[in-house]
Amino acid sequence: MSNICVLGSGSWGTAIALLLNNNVHKVTLWSFSEDECRELSQSRENKRCLPGIIIPEEITLTADINCCKNQDIIVIATPSHGVRGVARRIKDVVPTGQVILNISKGIEEETYLTISQVLKEELPDCKIAVMSGPSHAEEVSRGIPTTNVVAADSDETTKLIQDAFMNDVFRIYTNDDILGVELGGSLKNVIALCCGILDGLGCGDNTKAALMTRGLVEMTRLGVAMGAKAETFSGLSGIGDLIVTCTSMHSRNRRAGILIGQGKTVEEAQKEVNMVVEGVRSCKAAKELADKQGVEMPIVSEAYDVLFHGKKPADAIKNLMVRTKKHETEQCFLNKID
């Protein structure tokens, strides 16, 4: 049995706390606010994110950041834009060599750093790992079979997390490509948002399949340019997460995209979804990273114009369809724009 603290009591953090509790670990679930912690403690249910799922009494609920003391693993499950602030809050609490697992998916908007890079800046003496893959909290919390991948700088760290998380309904593979695992988990949200827009416009399966396929090419192209391995994007954190996020109504990114395709503004769509839509922030970051790397990402570019410059989605689709003729595999994974 390990002592494990989960920072972030949203849907994913709650689901992971439930999973770890089922694995007979001593689990603490931390909330950002006293009010949220009080509500969870009274109802033992995350009514907004995971209605109907009871939080067992064995899970300690707290809003005290000192809960990070004396933990074998600390799990970061806050929205990506809040990770740096949380890391700064625990800096003086955690010891040298503390294992910290990031399960948030996103890219920091101001710096365009991945979350592990943010954590390594703020907590340089800790052992940082990342976990990603096709894993809706709604399903993990109900014990539906799920598979993820964990990546870290050492086999010791990945195996520690693999041992702590695995059970008969949650399987973990290991990887050493931290950057690729994180980029896959972040960039797929942009493509899922676009797939939702297609649904909102009434496009068909053909259109969505094309978008997912070419979206994966763009994800891989940027990842390779930044130093990730191409094969990582063919795995769970790439194509695996892409499939589930683009096709499921559990996906807040897809749901927001549907609303945008139906004519709502980005702000209206995010408000109606009532949860963080990481794809909006990730789209801006992906566009900036692609420009910086000199990488061609036409889907991301068109999505950026729709989300931030008011372009009509139908016009964005037309632009993609009438682009210069290409060979399918020519320059798919080369860094520079031809």
Contact between residue 58 and residue 27 where contact means Cβ atoms under 8 Å apart? yes
The yes-or-no answer on residue 159 being catalytic is no
Number of neighbouring beta carbons within 10 Å of residue 173:
16
**Distance separating alpha carbons of residues 35 and 49, to the nearest angstrom:** 16
**Distance separating alpha carbons of residues 57 and 247, to the nearest angstrom:** 35
Closest by CA to 305, choosing from 315, 291, 294, 318, is 315
For residue 149, report the phi and psi dihedrals to the nearest 5 degrees: -130, 140
Contacts of 315 (CB under 8 A, 6+ apart): none
H helices of 91-177, in order, are: 115-122, 137-140, 155-165
**Distance separating alpha carbons of residues 21 and 205, to the nearest angstrom:** 40
Among candidate residues 105, 120, 127, 188, the one labeled active-site is 188
CA distances from 105 to 94, 158, 263 (A): 23, 18, 27
**Distance separating alpha carbons of residues 35 and 14, to the nearest angstrom:** 16
> Measured at the alpha carbon of residue 39, what is the angle toward residues 38 and 45, in degrees to the nearest 5?
125
Burial status of residue 132 (CB atoms within 10 A of its CB: 0-12, 13-18, 19 or more) = buried
Tokens of 92: 């003086």
**Distance separating alpha carbons of residues 169 and 143, to the nearest angstrom:** 6
Catalytic residue numbers, as ranges: 188
